[in-house]
Amino acid sequence: MTQHLLAIDDVAEDFEAILKWAIEFKRQWKQGDDVAQNFLPLDMLAIGSIYEKPSTRTRVSFEVGIQRLGGSALTLLKNDIQLGTSETIGDTSQVLSRFLGGITYRCFGHEDVEELAKHASVPVINALSYKHHPCQAAADLMTVLEHYDDLEGLKVAWVGDGNNVLHDLMLACAILGIDIHYACPEGYEPHDDVVERTKALAEANGSSVTHTTDPVEAVSGAQVVYTDVFISMGEEHMTDKIKSFEGYQVNEEMVGHMAKNWSFMHCLPAHRGEEVTDWVMDHKNSIVFDQAENRMWAQMSLMAFLINPGAWDAMGEFMGLVD
C-alpha cells in the first residue's frame, strides 16, 4: 500500500529514524563521502511538485534535494495544469501517478492534498496546507536534535498564531517525547483535533502539552523558542489581526525568561520588527538558517523513505543506523 505524508504523525513510528538518517546523511554528504554523494534512490524518476502558493525554501529545497538523489524535479505551478478547474483533483492525481515517482503539493485547502493522496498510486507529500506542514516539522526537529544531545527535560515553546506550523511542531515534539508549551491569543488556538492527537502522543511518549495565553509563561525556562509571522499568506486582508498579538514579539526582554542555553527558531520568512526583533534573529543563538537548510536534508530522507524504502534502509545500514 502506498504511504503518504499529509501530517507528521503519518510517520510517527519511523519519525526518529527518519531524522537520524537525515542528520547522518547530511554529515557524510558534506564530508564528501563517495557512497553518500552517489546515493541515487530517485534515479530515472521524475518527482512532480505542485505549487498553488509561491515559495522560496520549499521549492528550492525540493528541487535541489530531488536532483541530489538522482531524480528529475518537475515543478508545476498553479496555472500550468488543470488541477481542480477543468479536471478533478482525483483525475489529475491518477494521471500524474502514471508518469511520476512521487508528488509534492503546496496548497491552500488540506482537503485538496487529502483528495490528491486518495487517488494517487505514488507517494504524496504535503509541502504545506492550511492545516499541516509536516516537512517543516521534520526540519525543525532535525535541527533540535543537532543542537541538543539530550532530549530529557527539554522544553520547546511556541509564541504566536495557532497555525499549520504549530500543528506539526506539536505533533513532532509529542512523538519524540519533548515537552511543548504554546502561547496563543484567545481565538487563535490550534485546531482541537490536532491538540487531541498531540495529547495522545505525548501521553504515550511521556511528555506534556501546555497551553497558555501568556507568552512569558510559555517561554520561561525554555531551551527552544519558536515563532512565525502573525499574519500568514492569504490573510493580508485581516488588518486587525495584528492587534491580538501585542506582547507576543520575541525580543531581548522575552529572551531574559528563557533558559541560558536558549535557541531561537522561525520557519521563515520573518517579518522583522513584528513577531521578532533583529537582535534575536541575528543572535548567535538563532538557528533559523540551520532550519532552512535542513528542509532539504529532512525532505531527502522523507522522499527516500517513502519512494524507495529499500534504498533508504540500505543507506541507513551503511551509515550504521540499524540496531
What are the start-end ranges of the H helices in 148-191? 164-175
- List the catalytic residues: 106, 133, 136, 228, 267, 295
- pLDDT score recorded for residue 53: 87
CA distance 86 to 89: 10
Q: What pTM, to 2 d.p., does this model score?
A: 0.96
pLDDT digits (tens, 9 = 90+) for 268-317: 999 999 999 999 999 999 999 999 999 999 999 999 999 999 999 999 99
Query: What is the CA angle 172-288-220, rounded to 5?
Result: 65
Fold of 8-133+295-312: Rossmann fold (3.40.50)
Does residue 134 have a cis bond before it (omega within 30 degrees)? Answer: no
Contact 288, 268 (CB under 8 A): yes
Q: Is the pLDDT score of 234 beyond 90?
A: no
- pLDDT score recorded for residue 300: 99
We find that the CATH architecture of domain 136-290 is: 3-Layer(aba) Sandwich (3.40)
Q: Grade residue 161 by pLDDT with cuts at 50, 70 and 90.
A: very high
Confirm whether 8-133+295-312 and 136-290 share one CATH topology.
yes
- Sequence ranges of the domains in the chain: 8-133+295-312, 136-290
